[in-house]
Structure formats: C-alpha cells, structure tokens
Amino acid sequence: MRDGEARENRRPSDDPMRRPRAIHGRAPDVFRLGAWVPMRQFGEDEEVDFAIVGTGAGGGTLACKLAEAGFSVVAFDAGPYWRPLEDFASDETAQSKLYWTDERIVDGENPLQLGSNNSGKSVGGSTVHFAMVSLRFRPEWFKSRTLLGYGADWPLDWREMWTYYEEVEQALKIAGPITYPWGPKRPRYPYRAHELNAAAKVLARGAEALGISWTETPLATISAPRGASPPCVYRGFCTLGCSTNAKQSVLITWLPRALHAGAEIRDLAMVGQIETNGADRVTGVHYHRDCEWHFQRAKNVVVAGYAIETPRLLLMSATSRFPDGLANSSGLVGKNLMVQGNQAVWGIMDDEIRSYKGPPSLAITEHWNYEDKGKDFHGGYAYMSQGPLPVLWARTLAGSRGLWGEALLNEMQRYNHSVGLKVVSEYMPQERNRVTLTDEKDQYGLPIPRVTYSWCDNDKRMNRHALAFMRRALEAAGAREIWDQEDDTCHLNGTARMGFDPRTSVVDGDCRSWDIPNLWICDGSVFPTVGGVNPSLTIQAIACRTADRIKALAARGDLEVRSKDRQLV
Amino acid sequence: MSREVVTSGKQIGEDQVGLGIIAAMAALALAAVLARKQKYRRLAQSSGTVTAARRLNRAAGTLAFSVLFDSAIEHYRGSFHNKAMYTPLVVSSLALAVSAHGVNDERSEMHRLRDAIYVAAAVIGAIGTGFHIYNVAKGPGGINWQSVFYGAPLGAPAAIALSGLLGAAAERIRDSDPHRPRVFGLPAGRLAAAIASLGLLGTTGEASLLHFRGAFHNPFMFLPVTLPPVSAALLAETALGKQHRSRWFTRWWLRLTTAMGFVGVCFHAYGVHRNMGGWRNWRQNVLNGPPLPAPPSFAGLALAGLAALTLVEDRPDA
C-alpha cells in the first residue's frame, strides 16, 4: 500500500455512500483504520460462475462459500462498504444511514413500517445493524403443515439443517448458554453467554415467577477475543452498527473470507435487471454503479436481496418469454410476504434498569415456540428483553403511546427505570401479503415496489396472547404502569418460497429456480414459513447448504441443466 | 496478525506461538535459577525450621500480594458498593506486610502479632467466601452458569484464607522442635504440603471456570488448568506418601508451576491488549480484561509446596 494513497482515502471526501470503495483491486480492511485488503477483480465481459445480487446473510455467506469452493464470484450490493471502526458514530440519527429507506409504497390493513427493523442497505446487508439474535428453528417448523397443521412444509430436513446451523454458529463464534432449554440437543455454543444486564434479569425473574424456562440469548457478538475482533464492550449501539467489530456481522466474517478466497465485491452497485437469452437461461445482470448502467456476464445468477428487493428484481426482469417476471410460472413471486410480530409490553421498575447497556436482547424465553398446549392460534413466539436507545425510546413513547410535550418529557425522565419485553412471533403466510411493482420510478429509474400487508385472524390472536402473557411476566417481575406497544413488526420473509412442486413454489430445496436452472434465490425470501425466531441464522444456514448443493451439482455436471430425476424428488 | 487468522476462526497465529515459546523458555530459565540457588539453601539441621517458615512466609506473602491487587481492581470495578468490599484490601495488605516481616525474621519463635494477623486473614477469608456465595446465589435462577461466571468469584476470598493458613503454619513451625516440627500436632511438612495441594486444586477450579468463560480462545489458557492439578497430585503424594530423600520430579514440577504463575501475568497483559483499544485504553481494559494479579496465586501456592517439600525431604518425621 502506498502511504499517500491511504491518507487520501482517509479524508472526509472518501464518502462511501457516494463513491465505491471496492475498486482498483482492493477492498476496505474492516479491521484496520484506513487499511485495505487485496481483491480480485473480474472484467464485465468475463463470464463469471456466479453473479450474486446482495451481500447480506444469504448472498454474503453464499459468496464466501462458493468462492472458497473455487467458483469465480462477483457479489453486488446497492449499499456502501462501511469501515466499522471509522463510519459508525454513537449517534442514532446518523446511523439510520444503514437502513434501506429508498422510496416504497406500503398499503394493506396493517401497512409495514420499513427501515430499521427489516432492511439494510450496506455491504453485509442488514446484519450490519441486526440485533445479533442467532436462534435455530424448532425442528417441527420444517414440517409445519404435516406436523403442526399450518403453513407449508419445507423441502429441508431439520437434521441436515442442524449441521448447517452448527457451521454458522462456529463461523460467527456465537456466544450462547451452556445448555439450551428447548428442542433437541445442540452442540455447545463456541463462546460463552454474555453477562445479563438488569433488563435481562427482569425477564429471568418474570419467567421464574411464572414457572417457565428462560436462558441467555445466543448472540453473534463475542464474549472473548477472536482474531482482530475484541470482545463486546457493551456499548449498546448494536442495532445501529457495531463500531468495535465485536458483532460478527456478514461484513466482518463471511466477506473477508470471501475476498481472501478470490471473490469480488462491488459496492454501491444496484442491480436493476437480470438478462435472459432465447434458451431461457440467465446470462448476467445489469447494474447501476458510478452513475451509469453496466452489464456483468455470468453463468449463474443468485438473487439475495431480501423479501422485497428479490421479488422486485425478478418482476422487473420480465421479458416476452417471461411476461410475469423470472422464476414466476407458479405466480408466487412476491406473494406470501411474511413479517414477524414485534409487539412489546413496557413498564416501570423501582430499581434503575438502564436497559440500553449491553446488547439489547440478552435474555430470552422460547417457551411458546415449543409449548403447543394453551394456544388459540397456530405458530409460536419467543420474547426477549429490550434495550431501546433514547431516540428510539422517545419515538416509541410518542408514536405508540401517544405522549407529547410535557408528558413525553416527564416520561423520558424515567428512561433509566423503563423496562420491556418484546416478542418475535410467527405470522402466517398469506398470498394477499405481497410485493408488486408500481408505475412510479426511483432514483435509478426503476419501478418502486408496493408492499401490501395485513394480519389474518390467527396473527391477531397470537398478538393478543403474546401481549397478555408478557404483561403477566413483567408484572411478576415487579414492574408497574405496564402498557402495550401493539404496532411493531420485524423481519421480512417469503415472496419466493421454496417447495417440492414447481406449481406451488418458486425454488426447490437447493434454492434453485424451478423455471430457470441457472437462476438461484438465496435469502429470507425462500422461507415457506417464518417460525417464531429471528431469521438470520437460518438464512445463513440455508446459504451454507446451498453452497454445498451447488458444489455437489457441479461435481456431477448438473449445474447447467437440471436433470430430469431431480424434478421428481 | 495475518488476515487468514482474523477470519478463519483459528485463534492462534505465528506471533502467538512465538510468544508462547518465549514464555516457556522464560519459565524454564526461572525454574533453573530457582534450582541453582536451592543447592546453597539446603537446610542446616539447626535452622531448618526457621528457613522453612520463612519460605512459607514468602508463599503467604505472594498469595496476599495476588489477593491485594486482584481485590483492589475487582472491587474498584464493583465501585465498593458495599463497604465490606474494603475488607480484603486491608486484610491482604496486613498479611503482605507481616509476610515481608517474617521473611526477614531469623528468630526461631512465633511472632504474636504476625500470627494474629495470619489467623484473622484465614477467618476473614472464610467469611468472605460466604459473602461471595451469597452474591452468586441471589441472582435470578440461583446458582447457575451465568451466576458463577459473572457473580463474585468463589475462589478469591479463599486465597486470602489460604495465605493466612500458610502464614499461621509458618509461625507454628518456627516454634516447633527443629528435629520434629509439628503444627496442630501434625507433621509440619506434610501438613503444609496438604494445604498447598488443596489450595492448588481450588485455584485450578477458579482458573478453569474463568478460562471456560473465555471459551479457551487461546490454547495457552489450558496451561493453568493442566500444570497445577499435577502439582496438587504430587503434593498430595508428598503429604501422604512414603518418605523419600529426593522427589526431584515434584520439585521441578512445582518450580514450573511457580514460573507459570509469574509468566501468567504476561499472558494476561496480552489478553488486556486484545480488548477494544488495547493498552491505550488501559483504564477500561485492566478492569475488563483478564485479571493481571490473579496468576501469581499459583506461584504462591507452588512456593508453599516447595517449602513443604524441603521439610519433608530433610526430615523423615516432618
């Protein structure tokens, strides 16, 4: 590295939101101030093995695994390539730069609030600001239609997923409890659980009082040193970008590995269309970077833009041969959008809580994910302790509780005594919840997506159950003046579900499009059901599995053409 | 550190292996130095009990030193929110002071004040252990991994109790018949060996727990959970086994354990460096990182073991 160059790039003019950083054969070294790591680069005429659209939990993980398997990989992301040590201020408002806040139209009976809880526009995707909660699915959820009577079965076996969960937990050095109270035995988490903060102890006390199990939440932030990552300093800005690199996001785990293995990452590169040829194969992607459109040739395209951008790109890539969009012979692209419930109960404790200290969700109970009796609804939920930072807390009090003026000021005075429990619950897949295209255009000249969302009766019953139960738990822990926050949701899944049949799903269990054999989808879009846990660990596990399947298919020459017998599986 | 190490999940780079080899060589060198001096210190029959007692004073002082600085740092971190948290600072300071006095005292009789302070340290250490057990048990869920990882460490007050116990034994050995030293009516050398053995086991338990909490992320973290238990076993054999003129393996292993106790400070200093901001941020990281004064408690106990060993080797009836 030349000194002058490094200094030049450290100047404020190095604005990662305006100028790409991953250029000239190098990418930012996320672990060192102003440093770079070498990056292989591919020509646009060079037909790479895989063009991956998105570098989050799905795309970033897959880029790493495919590059390590020897494939040539270019991964595109519309967001900037952040340097966590330099770009992540302790400022809630400034850090909203991590969210995908491009224009979108939301409607339905319960329009979604898009941004912090469900999207990211960064290299590394929303894992750059996710809450690090790393949970496994309950095994029965992979067969929820057959075993539990709702939703749809997954074409994946839970035992196989158990091995991929372990791979991801090791890759992220998840800090979790010694024994997990629910579900089949799992291997020991690589790192030990973090110390509980006072807010987590409130959850624990409530659970003890109600006689249900609780545990430390398995988190993707390390509790002991790891390589260039120092252990968590409990700064509390976890959902706004970790400035110490304790958080094991895709940006600092899979992507450095991907670069080392020879993958190229193109930041500030918005893919607007997938090109197809007369043989109904994809041939590459059109992407917007540095104020102009480019085309990258590729033998395979993987779409990993999460549950809004993925169907949007497939729909935008419609041709005369695929008038309804790519991979959409089932008509299901964009349908079955699933979010998760994120309601909360909040109260006041006599003792100081200071819930903003440390990771926000240090304690959890999955009781209602694994207990099927006593429910008037399908699905399950987990709830966790919470640690809202001041601006978010003020917004919650104003938006959800209707406080303003002096009342809001007075309530903010009690910030240090506020405590809450927040749910992650399993909403049902419904075809009416969907992503479609509008006629309006965004800054790239691409059609703005419309996101339509409504709760079904089952979702509403679950909301009521969760709020009532969490209220009891908070009361039992000694909180008073308890109130319900009824409006919040989180995460995005569905819209390109995997399945057993081309007529009722978009991709097969290998995340491969039924219609176009060299088109893949690898993110939360492929979920047929969401489960009652945060989805990131499952998305990464699916990406690891997909990489292994692609390796196996390539080894037997099935990557170009889908063999007939595979369709019968 | 190379980029592969950063991201592959491997915890050890060439630099760390190099550091380990240097540390091991330093430990061997220290052990050799101790061994060479040992020849000149071979006990003359007359002053044997005094020398043994002074060595036990030295061991008790090393432990007190470890407790003083460890409790100072940890209780400062806990903001001394309970006034009782000043107690170990006072007690271990006094134990350190009287130990220094004892090391330089060549008289062959018990010193009343020293003895009183040592006995008080033993009693207060036991009470402190009770406090720490209460602290651990009062959290939600009672005693579980979370509370033993992050509650008050159970072994820390026990260390000052051990210091007091070794010191009290030292005072009684001074008072004993040099040809047949007895403490509480038991053979002095064997009793001291037994105390050191149990102390090493307890300290190993503490190190195991905290290194497990750190997920043994650095393989050198296995050293204090593998070397000391062997020392404990060898000392137990010394306490209970037949009389031998020379237990050279036990002696060398105890020297190794002593060296490990001191070199451990360097490893912990490296551990502090691996926290956010490293040593530049020492005011936070000395509190957050691995405790710098903790490893010498192994040295203190191993030194006590060496003193006991010499007594047993030199006096068939000790």
Measured in angstroms, the CA of A230 and the nearest CA of chain B are apart by: 5
Quick check: A236 and A389 in contact, CB under 8 A?
yes
The beta strand positions in A373-514, using DSSP E, are 381-385, 418-426, 434-441, 447-452, 480-485, 489-493
Q: Give chain B positions within 8 Å (CB) of A216.
A: 146
Which pLDDT score, from 0 to 100, does residue A504 have?
97
Tokens (6 digits) for A453: 């969302």
Mutate to test the interface with B, among A233, A253, A351, A364 (most CBs of B within 10 A): A233
| Residues A275, A568: Cα–Cα separation, whole Å | 28
Residue range B291-307: average pLDDT?
95
Q: What percent of chain B has pLDDT over 90?
A: 69
**The pLDDT of residue A334:** 98
Chain B residues within an 8 Å CB radius of A214:
141
Q: What is the pTM of this model?
A: 0.92
Please tell me the distance from the alpha carbon of residue A271 to that of residue A288, in angstroms, as a whole number: 6
Residue B10 has pLDDT above 60, yes or no: no
Which residues share a beta bridge with A340? A426, A490
Q: pLDDT truncated to tens, each residue of chain A (569 aa)?
A: 344 444 444 554 589 999 999 999 999 999 999 999 999 999 999 999 999 999 999 999 999 999 999 999 999 999 999 999 999 999 999 999 999 999 999 999 999 999 888 889 999 999 999 999 999 999 999 999 999 999 999 999 999 999 999 999 999 999 999 999 999 999 999 999 999 999 999 999 999 999 999 999 999 999 999 999 999 999 999 999 999 999 999 999 999 999 999 999 999 999 999 999 999 999 999 999 999 999 999 999 999 999 999 999 999 999 999 999 999 999 999 999 999 999 999 999 999 999 999 999 999 999 999 999 999 999 999 999 999 999 999 999 999 999 999 999 999 999 999 999 999 999 999 999 999 999 999 999 999 999 999 999 999 999 999 999 999 999 999 999 999 999 889 999 999 999 999 999 999 999 999 999 999 999 999 999 999 999 999 999 999 999 999 999 999 988 876 655 444 44
What is the number of structural domains in chain B? 1
Q: Which residues make beta-bridge pairs with A512?
A: A520
What is the pLDDT averaged over residues B290-297?
94
Question: How far off is chain A from B253, nearest CA to CA, in Å?
Answer: 30
- Shortest CA distance from A173: residue in chain B: B9
CA-wise closest residue to A560 among A568, A550, A569? A550
The mean predicted confidence, pLDDT, of chain B is 87
| Domain containing residue B170 | 9-314
Residue for token digits 């409790």? B71
Residue B171's φ and ψ, nearest 5 degrees, are -60, -40
pLDDT for the residue A558: 87
Torsion of CA A293, A296, A302, A306, to 10 degrees: -20
The answer to whether A360 and A458 have CB atoms below 8 angstroms apart is no
CA distance B120 to chain A (A): 34
> Under 8 Å CB-to-CB from A485, ≥6 apart: which residues?
A343, A344, A345, A346, A396, A400, A401, A420
Question: Are β-strands A264-266 and A73-76 bridged in parallel, bridged antiparallel, or unpaired?
Answer: parallel
* Residue B266 domain-assigned (yes or no): yes
Record: contact A193-B9, CB cut-off 8 A: no
Q: What phi, psi does A278 have (nearest 5°)?
A: -65, -20
User: What is the rounded CA–CA span in Å between residue A161 and residue A169?
Assistant: 12
Of B17, B61, B89, B46, give the one whose Cα is nearest residue B163. B61
Dist CA B183 CA B317 (whole Å): 12
Cβ neighbours of residue A76 under 8 Å, at least 6 residues apart? A51, A52, A53, A54, A55, A266, A269, A270, A271, A285, A287, A296
Is B3 domain-assigned? no
Task: Please tell me the predicted confidence (pLDDT) of residue A55.
Answer: 98
* pLDDT for position B157: 92
The pLDDT assigned to A280 comes to 94
Q: Measured between beta carbons, which residues in chain B are less than 8 angstroms from residue A201? A: 139-140
Q: Would you call B1 and A225 a contact, using CB atoms and an 8 Å cutoff?
A: no
ipTM of the modeled complex: 0.91
Band (B7; pLDDT cuts 50, 70, 90): very low
> Looking at the complex, does the CB of residue B3 fall below 8 Å from at least one CB of chain A?
yes
Cα–Cα distance, B259 to A462 (Å, whole number): 61
Asked if A205 contacts A192 with a C-beta cutoff of 8 angstroms, the reply is no
Assign A38 to helix, strand or coil. strand
B139 pLDDT tier (thresholds 50, 70, 90): confident
Q: Which of residues 169-208 of A touch B (CB under 8 A)?
A: 170-171, 173, 177-178, 190-193, 195-196, 201, 204-205, 208
Does the residue B2 lie in any domain?
A: no
Residue B305 lies in a domain: yes
Q: Which of B256, B303, B293, B224 is nearest to B65 (CA)?
A: B293
CA distance A177 to chain B (A): 8
Tell me the C-alpha distance between A374 and A368, whole Å. 9
Q: What is the pLDDT of residue A8?
A: 47
pLDDT tens digits for range B175-209: 888 888 888 889 999 999 999 999 999 999 999 99
Would you place residue B226 in the very low, low, confident or very high pLDDT band (cuts 50, 70, 90)?
very high
Query: Cβ of A225 and B275 within 8 Å?
Result: yes
Least confident of A368-372, B23-27, B256-260: B23-27
Q: How many other CB atoms are found less than 10 A from the CB of residue A35?
A: 16
Residues of B in contact with A228 (CB under 8 A): 1, 6
Residues 112-151 of B with CB under 8 A from A: 139-141, 145-146, 149-150
Contact of B226 with chain A, judged by CB distance below 8 Å, is answered with no
Q: What are the structure tokens assigned to A23, written together?
A: 């250029």
Is residue B127 a part of any domain in this protein? yes
